[in-house]
Structure 1
Amino acid sequence: MTRALVIEDDPIIGEMLTLYLVEEQFVVNRVETAREGLDAITTFAPDIILLDLMLPDASGTELCAKFRNVTFIPMIVISMKSAVADRIQAISSGADDYLCKPFSMQELKVRMNAVLRRYSHQPVHTYTAAPAAESQPVATATQHGISLDLERRTIIIDGEHVESTFSEYEIMKLFVHHPGRVFTREELINAVRGIDSFINDRAIDVHVTNLRRKLEKNPKEPQYIKTVWGVGYKFMK
């Protein structure tokens, strides 16, 4: 059975979510604080997280980044905030989807299944353990001194690890594996979240801008990630 971690401090909404998901054959653990949620990732080992952005001990979209920094478990934000900017910021920080309160329980279930389906279709990497005394990162092919550490899911630039969000890493993985290929924004959207999730062209542009800040010596005159006007982006060979 699928294990769902519900991080929601509102007793009415939390109980409603728990009862509905249990009826839908989920194993549910509900907590009320960010600290309890972070602990439950290890103790409960959920398959998916439902995260409220207004908790007693933390609030805001930085919560998404905090959770994404410790896990790549699928994560859906549930929030009273309905502004497009809030949605984009949450997804840019690591959320897989965003659902505004009040919402339909049937819609929640469909979105949860969609996110879980996308994750189940992602290829699983296997690694050969290096000797304990000389543990080495498992990296992809290198372009311009840039590669990816598959185990830590970080970008490596000239041997230095650079942290990235889930979306930034997925976009960079496409670029490094297919240097010179032009990717449309639609292709990048589908690769990052899947066609039925909330993300748009503007969010992709934000991710690319953030990647340029991390990779380029002069982000305003990028040498690696080039804009192909009217189409999308490509990573130079």
Structure 2
Amino acid sequence: MKPFSIAIVDDDPNIRQIVEAYLQKEGYLTRSVQSAEEALHLKETEPPDLWVLDIMLPGMNGYEFCRRIRKETEAPIIMISARDEEVDKILGLELGSDDYLTKPFSPRELVARVNRALRRWEQMKQRGERHSPVEDAAAGHQLLGDLLVLDKEKRLVYSLGEEVEVTSKEFQILCLLSEHPNRAFSRDELLTLVWGEDYFGSDRVVDDLIRRIRKKLDKIPLETVWGFGYRLRSPERTAEG
């Protein structure tokens, strides 16, 4: 099996050197660059299986880079930053990153998080291969008609014939809720199923993400189950209620 490739994007040469050494020892192939602009070129020439991305970069910052590449790839992104504010972590996760580490961090912890992120990525791809993308898209159409159509092969969202731009996590939550219409999911369930069992942040990230989905897709019956979580109603139940 070909080793996974990992790109390290950080303007600190010492961090790049240390991270590369630990990841190479684990058996990964690595590439390192010092700016988001270089990383964009790397994405076109040698796209990695995972990104280790610093937020505070010269020129384009890590948030903007994450937002851009999430339109084209679902490869895991682990953000690293000297800032430890909850809002920074939430913003990174909302833009599509899969994990967040605060500097200074243990290189061994980073390796462990890389291992977990790649395992989840492989499991997600295997689950996707078991389903026909055409059938999956049709299932989304049958649930809410033209209000919500999910193209799981291209990871695109349509509403009333118009494409709606969503982040990776927004797409995952929409898929999960649409596959289980009328079922109420708790915030803890959504955290585990979408962010992973090893995510230890606040469940506020779920509320923030649902709010963003509602703003983008204000016609879909995405309901709050007070004191518990959220559910996506089917048209039949919505008409009855």
Counterpart residue type for residue 229 of structure 1: W
* Partner of residue 237, structure 2: none
CA contact 1:98–1:198 (8 Å) conserved in 2: no
Partner of 1:98: 100
Task: Specify the code of the residue in structure 2 equivalent to 1:227.
Answer: T
For 1:147, the equivalent position in structure 2 comes to 149
1:6 is aligned to: 8
What is residue 50 of structure 1 aligned with on the other side? 52
**Aligned counterparts, 1:81-120, within 5 A:** 81-120=83-122
- In structure 1, what residue type is equivalent to 2:163? H
Deviation of 1:139 (Å): 4.6
Out of 55, 63, 66, the residue aligned to residue 64 of structure 1 is 66
Check 1:140–1:34 CA distance in 2 against 1; reply closer, same or farther (3 A cut): farther
In 2, distance between residues paired with 1:53 and 1:231?
33
Tell whether the 8 Å contact from 1:49 to 1:75 is kept in structure 2 after alignment.
yes
Cα RMSD between the aligned structures?
1.9
Letter in 1 for 2:180: H
Match of 1:236 among 233, 237, 241: 233
Partner SS, residue 66 of structure 2? helix
- Give distance in 1, aligned partners of 2:133 and 2:205: 35
Q: Is the Cα–Cα contact under 8 Å of residues 140 and 149 in structure 1 kept in the other structure? A: no
1:133 corresponding residue in structure 2: none
1:173 and 2:175 correspond: yes
Q: 1:62 Cα deviation (Å)?
A: 3.0
Q: Which residue of 2 aligns with 1:225?
A: 222
Alignment equivalent of 2:206, drawn from 204, 207, 211: 204
The 1:193/1:128 distance shift into structure 2, 3 A limit, reads: closer
8 Å Cα contact 1:52-1:77 kept in structure 2: yes
Alpha-carbon distance, 1:127 to partner: 5.6
How far apart, CA to CA, are the structure 1 residues paired with 2:133 and 2:152? Answer: 12
Query: Equivalents in 2 of 1:28, 1:127: separation in Å?
Result: 33
Which residue identity lines up with residue 169 of structure 1 in the other structure? Answer: F
State the 4+ residue runs in structure 1 displaced beyond 4 angstroms. 126-129
How many angstroms apart in 1 are the aligned matches of 2:186 and 2:4?
34
The whole-number CA distance in structure 2 between the counterparts of 1:128 and 1:183 is 24
Contact 1:74 1:115 (C-alpha < 8 Å) held by counterparts? yes
Q: 2 CA distance for matches of 1:89 and 1:141?
A: 28
Q: Give secondary structure in 2 for the equivalent of 1:103.
A: coil
Shift of 1:176: 1.2
Pick closer, same or farther for the CA change 1:77–1:105 going to 2, 3 Å. same
Which runs of 5 or more structure 2 residues have no equivalent in the other structure?
235-241
Measured at CA, do residues 88 and 30 of structure 1 come closer, stay the same or move farther in structure 2, by a change above 3 Å? Answer: same
The 1-side partners of 2:168 and 2:139 are apart by 17
Q: Report the TM-score, using the length of structure 1 for normalisation.
A: 0.88
Question: Offset of 1:228 from its aligned partner?
Answer: 0.4
* CA distances 1:12-43 after superposition (whole Å, capped 9, x unpaired): 11111112222221111001111211221232
* Cα distance change of structure 1 residues 138 and 231 upon mapping to structure 2, 3 Å threshold: closer
Letter in 1 for 2:24: V
Rounded to whole Å, the distance in 2 between the matches of 1:127 and 1:45 is 26
**Aligned positions, number:** 225
Percent of aligned pairs with the same amino acid: 37
